[in-house]
Structure 1
Amino acid sequence: MKRSLGIYAINLDRSQERWQALAEAFSPLPYPLKRVPALDARLQPQAVLDIRGLSIVLPPAGLGYSMVRGREYLLVQEACFASHIVALRCFLSGGHELALILEDDAVPGPRTGPVLEALGGLDAPFDIVRLEAIRLSGSRPAVKVAALGAETLVRSLKPSSGSAAYVVTRRAAERLIAAAGRNLMPFDDYLANPSLHGCDVCYVSPLPIRQADAPSVIAESYERGRLRRQSGLVPFLRQAQVRGRLRLGLWAWALRGGGMPRNYRW
């Protein structure tokens, strides 16, 4: 029996044009679409911090250093993380069995509908299925999990940036919320690494949804080259240890079914 699915789209109140474009693009799909007001780092700084109990420790807008990247982690990045938590809570407050969580720059391709239909009726269990990722290359090493009609469900051996579109089960939403803690990292780093939250992370190959070409609100908010970085041997070794542990965890999750990796289209 097919599982019910709802679409939850994260959107800033001051970005109504993005919501209109997204609603026009996704409304033809046979699933209810709900707008989730994003937390605004500019207008609601304390509300952003309160979601995970964080604080500014590197004024004017730094919460500390990213445990994965070693760069200053900004309030605007935490606003994105916190908004995903809000969207997951919104999903859990309703009755749907699955949720498609969207950022407001998500653009569906022609295969989005068939992929969602296939996921709703999939017999193989899953926790999180990513339908979008930053395409740094044409293919990535991955292990096949299941067939999805013209697409393939895979576990990637390399983490992929991006969190503009992913399908999540109720169990996985609960785990993502419970395991978020106070670790400082962009939400897409958190989502991509199963050892951080204990959820199985799969991808659809090829990816049916992409991000719009327009700059994101986060990207427009700061210059990466101006972010403060931790210096010295100890922070360098600590970051290397974290990245190594996360990569080994990713490989362990990807290979646990015993399949052989090969390159899949991204």
Structure 2
Amino acid sequence: MSHPADHRQPRFYIHPVNARLSTYLINLDRAGDRRKRMSWLLARHGLVFERVQAVDGNDIQLPSPFFDERGYLERHGRRPNRAEIGCYLSHVECARRLLESSFEHALILEDDLDFDEELLDTLSSALDQAGSWDLLRLSSVNSGHKFPVLQLSGKHSLALALTREKGSGAYVINRRAAEWIVTALLPMRLPYDLAFDLEHEAGLKGCFITPEPVSQSAERMSYIQTRLSDYKLKHRRPASVMLHRARMESGRFIARLARLVLWRIFSAFR
């Protein structure tokens, strides 16, 4: 992309991928430093974006029609975290904006990211294979194994993950996935990154790009993670949590393993 000597000045050009998707940056009003940094980074990579004002957890009043406190307790076993609820509703808002737009796809970004230099070219290559996925994850905070299934540009591939992957820093959705997010994922019963990792339950196809072209920096810790232990119930967690978790983990593994096997079979006969 840019020469090392130009690192202080973004290259103000428009990457062709902008004609193929909308880009939404989730950012709190009070997170001005993050907004400034991400604006610089996006400009440097040639991405045109729309800032989505994040829902501030400090402004959320409970009970709320958008948050199922009993369902959250039974599935996640923690006290309500207003910052987590705000994050969840902010991602839902991005999906809603895609449905109101003329675009087929949207790139959704949080504001604590770093980009691979090949991100935009890799993203263009992934969009050429858009029939293979409804939800494409570009980042993760887990280190679980990703199984490559289709080569993209450069060093990157489309891949499947068989186990739970956390984090929702950067991903792409199509309109079908957006419809699922704004309808089936409300009211909130799980943190957003766990909820949208269950796309297979709606018959949607999820994929990763590996190696991941976007990372979330440890130095810019999420507001949600701050004092996270305050919301844990520990030994008082309902027994239903383990039952729900076993169902989700086994269902995810079976659905994605079946998809991986089928993909490998079809690839062998091409």
Equivalent residue for 2:225, pick from 219, 242, 246: 219
CA RMSD of aligned residues (A): 2.9
User: CA separation in 2, counterparts of 1:126 and 1:13?
Assistant: 33
Q: How far 1:24 moved relative to its partner?
A: 0.6
Summarize deviations over 1:220-248 as a string: whole Å, max 9, x none: 2x232652246478436523543444334
After superposition, the C-alpha distances for 1:84-125 in whole angstroms (9 at most, x for unaligned) are: 001111222222221110011122111111112212333643
Q: What is the match of residue 170 of structure 1? A: 175
Distance change >3 Å, CA 232–CA 76, structure 1 → 2: closer
Partner residue of 2:31?
15
Q: Which ranges of structure 2 fall in alignment gaps of 5 or more residues?
A: 1-16, 266-270
* 1:25 to 2:41 alignment: yes
In the alignment, the residues of structure 2 paired with residue 244 and residue 257 of structure 1 have an alpha-carbon distance, to the nearest angstrom, of 20
Mapping 1:112-261, distance limit 5 Å: 112-122=119-129, 124-136=131-143, 140-144=145-149, 146-150=150-154, 151-213=156-218, 214-220=220-226, 222-224=227-229, 227-229=232-234, 231=236, 234-235=239-240, 237-252=242-257, 254-255=259-260, 257-259=262-264
Runs of 4+ in 1 over 4 A off after TM superposition: none
The CA distance in 2 between the partners of 1:88 and 1:124, in whole Å, is 19
* Contact 2:72/2:190 (<8 A) preserved: no
Of the three residues 31, 52, 62, the one matched with 1:36 is 52
State the AA in 2 paired with 1:177: V
C-alpha distance in structure 1 between counterparts of 2:238 and 2:206, whole Å = 33
Cα distance in 1, alignment partners of residues 194 and 263 from structure 2: 25
Structure with greater strand percent: 1
* Number of residue-to-residue matches in the alignment: 247
Distance across 2 between alignment mates of 1:89 and 1:82: 10
Q: Name the TM-score, length of structure 1 as normaliser.
A: 0.81
Q: Percent identity?
A: 23
What is the DSSP-based 3-state SS (H/G/I as helix, E as strand, rest coil) of the residue aligned with 1:107? strand
Q: What is the letter of the counterpart of residue 147 of structure 1? A: Q
Structure 1, unaligned runs of 5 or more:
58-62, 261-266
Deviation at 1:258, TM superposition (A): 3.9
Which string of whole-angstrom CA distances, capped at 9 and with x for unpartnered residues, describes residues 131-154 of structure 1?
0001436xx04251x221121001
2:84 paired residue among 63, 67, 77: 77
Using a 3 Å threshold, how does the CA distance of structure 1 residues 41 and 203 change in structure 2: closer, same or farther? same
Whose helix fraction is larger, Structure 1's or Structure 2's?
A: 2
SS for the counterpart of 1:160 is coil
Superposed displacement of residue 257, structure 1? 2.6
Asked if 1:46 is matched to 2:53, the reply is no
Structure 2 partner of 1:89: 96
- Distance in 2 between residues matched to 1:232 and 1:34, nearest whole Å: 40
